[in-house]
Structure formats: C-alpha cells, structure tokens
Amino acid sequence: MLLLPFIRDNKETTLAGLKKKRFANAETAVEQVLALDQQRRDVQKELDDVLARSNAKAKEIGALMKAGQKAEADAAKAETAELKTRSKELEESLKTAEQQLQEVLVTLPNLPHSSVPEGRTPEENEVVLQHGEIPVLPENALPHWELIKKYGIIDFDLGNKITGAGFPVYRGKGARIQRAMINFFLDEALKAGYFEIQPPILINEDSGFGTGQLPDKEGQMYYATEDKLYLIPTAEVPITNLYRDVILPDDQLPVKNVGHTPCFRREAGSWGAHVRGLNRLHQFDKVEIVQIRKPEESYQALEEMSQYVQSLLQKLELPYRVLRLCGGDMGFASALTYDMEVWSAAQQRWLEVSSVSNFETFQANRLKLRSRVEGKTQLLHTLNGSALALPRILASILENNQTTEGIRIPKVLVPYCGFDTIN
C-alpha cells in the first residue's frame, strides 16, 4: 500500500507513477485520497480540541465543587456532557473517514521504479540480455504436448477426469523429473544461503491483503467458502506473511527464505491455442525465493536474485532472456520486475518461467513489517522470485532436448532423476 505522507507531499510524482502503471482514473483517485485525508485530519483536529476542552472542564468542575460554587459546577457539567456527545459524533466521523480513505488507498498499485520503461503491453518490455544458443531441431520435432503423449509421462485426460482441465497427472518418469527439479531447485537455494520453509497452502484474508493479492486478484484465486480460506497462487504469500506485524532486529536481517509449494490459479478467461499443454495450468509446482531487506540494500538484492535465477537456467542448459517489464505489464504490488523467459524450440516462442520483483515498502506497509533504527521503526523492503516454476521449464526441457533416441535430461538433473533419457 502506498504511503499516505508520500502521496500528500509528492502528488505529481504519484500521478506520474500511476499513469506509467496505466492505472485508470489516476487523477480522480489521488484527488479523492487527498480530500479524504484532509477531511480525516480536520476531524482529528476538532476531536483533539473537543477532548482537550472536555479534560479542562473536568478539572474546572473539581475546582468549582471544592470552592462550593455548585451552580457554576452544574453549568460546567452540562457543557461537559455536550462536549462528550460531540466527541462521540467526531469519533464516528473519524472512523468513517479513515475507512473511506483506506478503501481508496488499497486500490492504488505500487509506483514503478524510475528505471521501469514506458509501455502498456508485453511487446513493450525491455530485453535486458539474452543468453545461450537457440537449438535447431529436426523437421519432425514435436511440441511438448505431443512428446508427453508419445512417452506417456503426463496425462491430461486423467487429470480432467479426476478434477478438470488444467490439472495434469504426472506418471513414471514424468513424476520423477518433477521431483528431481524440486529437489535440485531447493538444494541450489540452500547453497545460496536461503532458509527452507514449508508453509501452509491455504491462507486467510489478512494474508492475501498483506501481499497485495486482495482486494486486487480475488477472482484469480480458488476460495474455500465454508472456511473463508484461499488456495495460494504462490509460496510468496504465506512465506512473506510469516513476518506480518513483526519488528525484525538488525541481527535477523537480511531474511532469505525458500519454499516449495503447489500453486493454484483460476486463470479465468486465459485459455486458447497459445496455452496448450504445460504452458498454463490451474495447479503447478514452484520453488519460490523471498527476501526481506533494508531499503538501501533492496535493489542490489534484486540484481543478485536475478543472477541467481539465471544461474539455474544456465545449469539446466536452457537458452533464456531477461526482460525489464514496462509499466503497463507489471504486477499490482511491484516497483520493478525482471521476467526470465526460456526458448521453447518446438513452439518457436519464449515462455516466461520466473518473475523477480522488488516491492519496496508496498507489501511491508500492509504487513506492518518493520525494523528498528536508532529507536525508531522503519518499513522494510520485500522481494520475491520464482526459482523456478516447473511446468514451462519441463516443456522447454522436453522440446529442446528431443533426439531420435529420446529426450535427453540435463546433466544437473540426472543424479536427482536416476536416468539420463526419457524413451
């Protein structure tokens, strides 16, 4: 959530940032925030004045009673009663103004970092770098949805029978390579200094609000109505919420957590020919890295996280590129996001496999996640990244490594799989 004092003191900067994020009706929303803020401050000022006068009258009544001036004391009591009635009215007005202000504030996305390029669509994202050789496949090369049928490693029909579309069943070597990737990603994260967490995969509304999924993305999450719990879209949500309402001492910073979870996304309205097979699922596995840093360290940490994710792709021998997302393609809570995309040789297209983002104080403000500096608290910065999401990684491994003898497994995964070829 944006900081109210910043909006108040930097109206034009706020407007420019919201427009870069392509937030509709930015001027109206900011003017509404400022008007409600002024209303809240005016009511607070009057309430403080009424309470001060009421306290003064209470002392005056005591003095008058002590002096035997009963008539004057009774008059002061009547005035005190009026002040108490007025204070209750003002308290209700203040509560209403604060609620209305909060309702508008939570709709505002995070402001983009100065390095975020202008743009509205994914085509306007900035290519930061490209790494690796694009593989050349034989003319009879198959897309991964045909390869998984050929080798019987994933069954979409069984998943559809059990649950519905977008819930595949992994079989035999398909299941084993899933487990291999999860263990490989977790082991690499531990080597890089991350602390492993296994969080719940259901969250309450406060957790969804804390990381910015609510009230922005409730339509994309599965909801258990009886218990009012949401299935997580990513491990970022429960792991970051471990630190909700926490003041972290310096000796516990930086926080570097990693966790593997299944992830659940409704992906409403996103189906079509371009999302066949593993390209987009309702349930998938992902290993997530989360960091909590001091503000002055967070952008260096973001670069380190980007380099770390790239190192995984290099070890998997996958050609990839790094994008800096433009303002219109960024997530609601992000200040700067790098996307990593791998080349899918049979589909002849780039597939996003990771987003690494710095949220600055946006999530921390919602979470009330702070540190203490020289006796004062300050909001910390939160960051997270996919390291990595499995489905599209597997799709690219299958397509890029297909040969006449079968599908070659990347060398780093062979010790985890126990086999070097799918055939």
Radius of gyration of the chain (CA): 28
384 known member of a binding site:
yes
In the DSSP assignment, the letter for residue 123 is: G
290 annotated to a ligand binding site:
no
- Please, are residues 167 and 281 in contact by the beta-carbon 8 Å criterion? yes
Tell me if 40 is assigned to a ligand binding site. Answer: no
234 known member of a binding site: yes
**Residue 22 annotated in ligand binding:** no
Beta pairing partners, 338: 324, 356
The token pair at 407 is 């599908």
The answer on whether 354 is annotated among ligand-binding residues is yes
Residue 405 assigned as binding residue: no
Query: What type of residue sits at position 408?
Result: R
Burial of 354 (0-12, 13-18, 19+ CB in 10 A): buried
Residues in the chain: 423
* 225-233 contacts, C-beta under 8 A, 24 or more apart: 227/202, 228/204, 229/202, 229/203, 229/204, 230/202, 230/203, 230/204, 230/205, 231/201, 231/202, 231/264, 232/199, 232/200, 232/201, 232/202, 232/203, 232/261, 232/263, 232/264, 233/263, 233/264, 233/265
353 labeled binding residue:
yes
| Residues that constitute the known binding site | 234, 265-267, 288, 352-355, 384
| Residues that constitute the known binding site for L-serine | 234, 265, 288, 384
| Residues that constitute the known binding site for ATP | 265-267, 352-355
